[in-house]
Structure 1
Amino acid sequence: MTPLPFWQLLAGLIGLLVAGHILAWWLWRAIAFSGPRLGRGITGLARRRRLLHAIQQRLPRTSAFVARRLAVDRFSGLPLTLMTALAVYLVFLGGGLLEDLFEGEELTQFDQQVNVALNVLRDPTFLHLVGAITALANLETLIAITIVATGFLWADRRSQYIPGLLLTVIGSQTLTYIGKYAIDRDRPDFLTFASASTPSFPSGHATGAIAVYGFIIYAIARDLPGVWRRFEVGYWGCALIALIAASRAILSVHFASDIAAGLLVGGFWLLSGFALTEYLNERRRERGLLAG
């Protein structure tokens, strides 16, 4: 399959980013403005339902636990419940991906077909751009960015973010490299200038990108005033993560399932880092109230 010219690929990439920006902004507004009302509605509905009222009379401890899990006025309520549910869902997705990898040929065939189809993007000039993008998630780069981010958080007196960042980075990288050598999957044929020496599954670049850049996006956007500013940081940060992940397949150093697994691993540890940071923030606010 002959690659498309560089200018067509670049125009397509820009168009994709612009279209994604428009769609993401629409979804962001829908979530930002309807999410809190939905959460309050769920909590209020739970309090008003007759069935739950009967449970409250017969099982006071259970009903109190459920009420705490649905509370919207603190992180340990509904936010933590939803975050935990999402983390469990990621674990199940990862388990299903491993099962498909070990028990069937469909996933392998799919990966091969995707790798061949990506030849249309392998224009030599475009590959140099892709190589620059993928370098943003090299292990050495991620270590340097983590160190710099830790320094900025400390200097900005937000040291409560540092344990979450370190948990995300160390946990995701540790699990990734354990998985690489435990599964020991061969990489695809190297069809471009890029190569790699470690096993293929999961993608360390995808894991590192979502773990490191995802946490930095969160740390920057969390306390920004205004929905628009938070959206811009979130969208372009997520676009960078997506481009890094896609670059690994375009360069033919990873299969699509390797990248998906890396994003799942990184996403799980990113949620863990969020949870730890929000817990520490909540504890800090409580100490501030007690001191006041």
Structure 2
Amino acid sequence: MLWDGLLLLGLLAGVLGVRWLALWVARLGWGLGIRLYEQVGQAAKDERIRSVVSAARLRFPRLMYWTEARLTPRRFAGLPLTLIVISAVYLLGLFAGLIEELVEADELVRLDTAVNAMLAPFRTDTTVAALAWFTGLGGSVALTAVVVVTTALVWGLRHAYMIPGLWATLIGSQITIYVTKRVLDRERPEFLFDIAATSPSFPSGHAAGAMAVYGFVAYIVARHLVTARRRFELVYWTAVLVAMIGFSRMLLTLHYLSDVVAGFVVGAFWLLVGFVMAEQLRLRQHTGHGRAH
């Protein structure tokens, strides 16, 4: 009982400590970002730079137009979309790298086995019961219910442009997981508890679904929050929920570490796809309303 209490206190202290660190980093990054933006703006007013840019526009008009369109921060199709595409490509590369390491290298397998063994002291009756509840939140039934309820809410609030992206995160992530599981057919760890699973181990569908669906729901809510602090709290505690779902899969011996990491990568990729779909549909909807008026 004492050990369970210490584990709970340690987990709570860790979550609050990471929250403080994340808030400090966010404030620091925001300040640095504003300063960098101001310095770039000042540099753009320099006569020498302006002359070089003007000359480039005359010599390479199409290339300069395309480059400026991709880098402008004033439109979603500019810098935001460029960063999303770069992130998505990076996630695809990371996922491919994990698959290659799993198939061709032994280091990843040894790491998974070591982490699984390290979690043994934390597998008490209390932690197993608590994390079984978390793991249920990442199941297909729970995620589908969240998507259905969210769909009804955004439809009622007349934000229907969010719905395709929301469903894309769920369906896209689960199809990717299903296909990858069947292709790689990795065996799961030895089950130590009554909770079991029948599908292959790599990657984790719970981790992917949680990242994609709960991340997109947080995005929907964040768009209607006024202050940056509220958005930070929403994003942070959503991240804690997703992390706990992923951790529960390892502690309950349902997945290895690499399964969960790969699931997060798949979920993050489809989350980005959902972002792009929602923002593009929002722009079309607003453009259509503007033309109608």
TM-score > 0.5, shorter chain as reference: yes
Q: Deviations over 1:64-120 (max 9, x none)?
A: 000000111110000000011001010111111111011111110110000000112
Provide the residue aligned with 2:278 in structure 1. 277
Alpha-carbon distance, 1:54 to partner: 3.8
Provide the residue aligned with 2:200 in structure 1. 199
Q: Distance in 1 between matches of 2:227 and 2:234?
A: 11
* Alignment match of 1:13 (pick from 11, 16, 38): 11
Give the unaligned 5+ runs of structure 1: none
Q: How does 1:71-150 map to 2 (within 5 A)?
A: 71-150=72-151
Q: Distance in 1 between matches of 2:34 and 2:285?
A: 23
Q: Distance in 2 between matches of 1:196 and 1:17?
A: 29
Tell me the percent identity: 41
Provide the residue aligned with 2:218 in structure 1. 217
Give the unaligned 5+ runs of structure 2: none
Q: Distance in 2 between matches of 1:268 and 1:43?
A: 32
Q: Distance in 2 between matches of 1:223 and 1:80?
A: 20
Alpha-carbon distance, 1:52 to partner: 4.4
Q: Distance in 1 between matches of 2:175 and 2:44?
A: 41
Alpha-carbon distance, 1:37 to partner: 5.4
One-letter identity of the residue aligned with 2:86: A
Secondary structure at the counterpart of residue 229 of structure 1: helix
Q: Distance in 2 between matches of 1:40 and 1:280?
A: 31
Q: How does 1:163-178 map to 2 (within 5 A)?
A: 163-178=164-179
Q: Deviations over 1:118-158 (max 9, x none)?
A: 11211111110011111111111111111111111101111
Alpha-carbon distance, 1:25 to partner: 1.2
Q: Distance in 1 between matches of 2:185 and 2:53?
A: 50
Q: Distance in 2 between matches of 1:157 and 1:121?
A: 46
State the aligned residue count: 290
Provide the residue aligned with 2:21 in structure 1. 23
Alpha-carbon distance, 1:240 to partner: 0.3
Provide the residue aligned with 1:230 in structure 2. 231
Query: Which stretches of structure 1, 4 residues or longer, exceed 4 Å deviation after superposition?
Result: 39-47, 49-53
TM-score (norm 2): 0.93
